[in-house]
């Protein structure tokens, strides 16, 4: 895991532990543990968007990308990589 | 996948000349619902955390009876005989009393609306009132000679159990909207509405009934994590888009909106809508949730009429009504309030 990924994983794990008020490991499936309601889902997605400066679109809403801190870390980095490699179209500023 | 259901109108606004209501006189304390004893610990905790203290329960009326009471209330409020109705649109009940027969013409017969164009619409759960309003607006626009249109819904849970884990507790109610062409004295005008659906969620919630007695009917969620995560997040995005579209195509900004009302599922659900859209809902939403539970497709207009009763909105205010269904369907409606009292009062 790169240094950037490790930092992201650490940050997401800390957020989850704080938000869920219990220790959450990198591979704990907090959905399977029944810890997620719609308000928490909103809090989680909003945090990821704000902290990592990305937008979670409807087509990104694959539960498997969000069910553990490690998977969420991979999603964040894939999303950031996509944004950096997105083609620039004529007219884009 | 997604279906674009927007109906971009060039038709004039629609007057809501009266709102008829039927609510049980004495809502039942949540703790008195017999099914609570059969819930497991997780279900019980969720149920008690919904923000519902009492539930509207009317054991003596079916959905058809609730609808009829509300229809009569709307007609009485407006002083219009049923025989004068141009159209009668029933928003279909959650479950019909009998198959094959017609709940719509049953209501027509009960009211004596003999000449009203009569049919039912639905298929979108709690959002089903929106296609009814779209249809009513279309009828009024298409036929200049059409008389008033009455849109009616009786909301009663399909199963004896009222708790739908992990979402809400369903109550009983009837609500009717008497619609017509715009007029200055109308208490409310419907200005515009936008609707979207996504068929991938068509069976997210369901109730199997063919092979079991009614006592065993249960509303079930086939994918709780999908409901709490994917549909919730899609709802956030969808509602933001719909509200932006509704305001933009009417030349408005958020600063022009005096209030928002949504359906009443739970305290968490109301907070979710508020945080998703960065808005504050009218106080009537939480109060009706607490006192009545979830009243299906009747919630938003009941919340609006309660807000008008309490003067949470003033004459000339614009309000947005938000509806969401796990079918999945979303709709947002733009309404304008009119004079607060007088003939045809909404209250």
- Regarding whether B201 and B72 lie in a shared domain, the answer is no
The answer to whether the CB of B20 falls within 8 A of the CB of B75 is yes
Distance from CA of B13 to the nearest CA of A (A): 33
Count of CB atoms situated within 10 Å of the CB of A24? 22
| Residue span of the structural domain in which B136 resides | 2-180
Instruction: Place B91 in a pLDDT band, splitting at 50, 70 and 90.
Output: very high
Instruction: Place B212 in a pLDDT band, splitting at 50, 70 and 90.
Output: very high
pLDDT for B343: 43
Compute the average pLDDT of residues A29-49: 91
The answer to whether the CB of B279 falls within 8 A of the CB of B242 is no
B298 is a domain residue: yes
Answer whether A45 sits within 8 Å of B233, measured CB to CB.
yes
Mean pLDDT, all residues of chain B: 93
Compute the average pLDDT of residues B151-157: 97
CATH number of the domain that residue B223 is part of: 3.40.47.10
- Provide the CB-side half-sphere exposure for B272 (13 A, CA): 30
- Regarding whether B157 and B11 lie in a shared domain, the answer is yes
Instruction: Find chain B residues with C-beta within 8 A of A49's C-beta.
Output: none
pLDDT for B336: 97
Interface size between A and B, measured as CB pairs under 8 A: 54
pLDDT for B190: 98
The answer to whether the CB of B293 falls within 8 A of the CB of B157 is no
C-alpha span between B21 and B272 (Å, rounded):
27
pLDDT for A3: 62
The torsion region of residue B86 among left (phi > 0), alpha (psi -120 to 50) and beta comes to: alpha
C-alpha span between B2 and B128 (Å, rounded):
17
Report how far Cα A7 is from the mean position of its chain's Cα atoms: 13
pLDDT for B110: 98
Residues 6+ apart with CB under 8 A from B181: B12, B14, B15, B140
pLDDT for A10: 95
Distance from CA of B263 to the nearest CA of A (A): 16
pLDDT for A88: 52
- Regarding whether B195 and B174 lie in a shared domain, the answer is no
pLDDT at B100 over 90: yes
Report how far Cα B37 is from the mean position of its chain's Cα atoms: 29
pLDDT for A82: 83
Q: Which residues of B touch A (CB under 8 A)?
A: 42, 166, 225-230, 232-238, 268-269, 271-272, 275-276
B45 is a domain residue: yes
DSSP code string of B44-69: HHHHHTSS-SEE---TT--HHHHHHH
- Regarding whether B219 and B122 lie in a shared domain, the answer is no
- Residue where a domain terminates, one of B180, B212, B228: B180
Which residue out of A20, A33, A38 would a mutagenesis test of the B interface target, given it has the greatest number of B Cβ atoms within 10 Å?
Answer: A38
pLDDT for B225: 87
- Regarding whether B123 and B199 lie in a shared domain, the answer is no
Structurally, chain B folds into a number of domains equal to 2
Count of CB atoms situated within 10 Å of the CB of B80? 19
- Regarding whether B146 and B34 lie in a shared domain, the answer is yes
Burial class (CB in 10 A: 0-12, 13-18, 19+), B76: exposed
- Regarding whether B221 and B147 lie in a shared domain, the answer is no
- Regarding whether B130 and B93 lie in a shared domain, the answer is yes
B141 is a domain residue: yes
Answer whether A45 sits within 8 Å of B236, measured CB to CB.
yes
C-alpha span between A5 and A70 (Å, rounded):
9
Answer whether B230 sits within 8 Å of A37, measured CB to CB.
no
C-alpha span between B119 and B107 (Å, rounded):
10
- Regarding whether B161 and B132 lie in a shared domain, the answer is yes
Angle, alpha carbons B173-B174-B177 (nearest 5°): 140
The length of chain A is 93
Instruction: Find chain B residues with C-beta within 8 A of A42's C-beta.
Output: 232-233, 236, 272, 275-276
- Regarding whether B203 and B309 lie in a shared domain, the answer is yes
B347 is a domain residue: no
Query: pLDDT for B4-63, tens place per residue?
Result: 555 554 557 999 999 999 999 999 999 999 999 999 998 999 999 999 999 999 999 999
User: Which tokens hold the place of B177?
Assistant: 């909207």
Answer whether B272 sits within 8 Å of A45, measured CB to CB.
no
B346 is a domain residue: no
Answer whether A31 sits within 8 Å of B232, measured CB to CB.
no
Look at the block and give the residue holding tokens 């959650």.
B94
B345 is a domain residue: no
Distance from CA of B228 to the nearest CA of A (A): 4
Distance from CA of B345 to the nearest CA of A (A): 37
pLDDT at B246 over 70: yes
C-alpha span between B155 and B295 (Å, rounded):
6
B343 is a domain residue: no
- Residue where a domain terminates, one of B132, B149, B180: B180
Answer whether B275 sits within 8 Å of A56, measured CB to CB.
no
- Regarding whether B55 and B81 lie in a shared domain, the answer is yes
Instruction: Find chain A residues with C-beta within 8 A of B42's C-beta.
Output: 34
User: Which tokens hold the place of B42?
Assistant: 């997780």
Query: pLDDT for B157-202, tens place per residue?
Result: 999 999 998 899 999 999 999 999 999 999 999 999 999 999 999 9
Domains of chain A: 3-84 (1.10.1200.10)
Answer whether A41 sits within 8 Å of B233, measured CB to CB.
yes
Closest C-alpha among B135, B137, B52 to residue B92: B135
Compute the average pLDDT of residues B280-294: 98
pLDDT at A93 over 50: no
Tell me, what's the ipTM?
0.82
Instruction: Place A47 in a pLDDT band, splitting at 50, 70 and 90.
Output: very high
The answer to whether the CB of B18 falls within 8 A of the CB of B178 is yes
- Residue where a domain terminates, one of B149, B180, B211: B180
- Regarding whether B317 and B197 lie in a shared domain, the answer is yes
Chain B, nearest residue to A59 by Cα: B234
pLDDT for B327: 86
- Provide the CB-side half-sphere exposure for B220 (13 A, CA): 8
Query: Pairing between strand B149-155 and B87-91?
Result: parallel
Instruction: Find chain A residues with C-beta within 8 A of B271's C-beta.
Output: 39
Enumerate long-range contacts of A82-88, CB under 8 Å, 24 or more apart.
A83/A54
The length of chain B is 347
B344 is a domain residue: no
């Amino acid at each position: 895991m790169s240094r950037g990924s490790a930092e992201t994983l650490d940050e997401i794990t800390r957020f989850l532990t704080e938000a869920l008020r219990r220790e959450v490991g990198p591979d704990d499936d907090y959905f399977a543990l029944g810890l997620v309601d719609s308000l928490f889902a909103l809090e989680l997605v909003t945090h990821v968007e704000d902290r990592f400066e990305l937008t979670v679109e409807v087509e990104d809403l694959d539960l498997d990308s969000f069910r553990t801190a490690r998977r969420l870390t991979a999603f964040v980095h894939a999303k950031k990589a996509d944004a950096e490699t997105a083609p620039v179209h004529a007219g884009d500023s | 996948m997604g279906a674009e259901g927007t109906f971009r109108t060039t038709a004039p606004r629609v007057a809501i000349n009266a709102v008829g209501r039927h609510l049980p006189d004495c809502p039942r304390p949540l703790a008195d619902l017999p099914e609570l004893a059969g819930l497991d610990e997780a279900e019980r905790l969720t149920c008690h955390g919904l923000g519902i203290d009492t539930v509207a329960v009317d054991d003596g009326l079916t959905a058809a009876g609730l609808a009829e009471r509300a229809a009569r209330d709307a007609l009485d409020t407006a002083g219009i005989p049923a025989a004068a109705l141009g159209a009668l649109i029933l928003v279909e009940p959650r479950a019909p009393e009998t198959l094959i027969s017609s709940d719509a013409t049953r209501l027509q017969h009960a009211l004596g609306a003999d000449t009203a164009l009569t049919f039912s619409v639905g298929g979108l759960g709690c959002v089903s009132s929106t296609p009814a309003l779209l249809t009513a607006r279309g009828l009024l626009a298409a036929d200049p000679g059409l008389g008033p249109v009455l849109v009616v819904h009786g909301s009663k849970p399909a199963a004896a159990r009222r708790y739908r884990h992990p979402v809400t507790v369903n109550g009983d109610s009837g609500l009717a909207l008497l619609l017509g062409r715009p007029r200055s004295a109308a208490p409310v005008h419907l200005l515009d509405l936008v609707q979207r659906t996504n068929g991938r969620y068509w069976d997210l919630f369901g109730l199997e009934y063919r092979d079991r007695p009614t006592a065993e009917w249960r509303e079930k969620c086939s994918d709780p994590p999908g409901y709490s995560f994917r549909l919730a997040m899609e709802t956030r995005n969808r509602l933001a888009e719909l509200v932006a579209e509704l305001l933009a195509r009417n030349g408005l900004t958020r600063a022009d909106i005096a209030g928002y009302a949504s359906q009443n599922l739970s305290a968490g659900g109301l907070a979710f809508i508020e945080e998703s859209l960065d808005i504050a809902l009218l106080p009537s939403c939480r109060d009706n949730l607490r006192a009545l539970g979830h009243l299906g497709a009747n919630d938003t207009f009941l919340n609006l009429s309660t807000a008008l009763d309490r003067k949470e909105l003033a004459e000339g205010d614009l309000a947005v009504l938000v509806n969401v269904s796990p079918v999945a369907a979303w709709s947002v409606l733009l309404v304008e309030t009119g004079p607060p009292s007088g003939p045809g009062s909404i209250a």
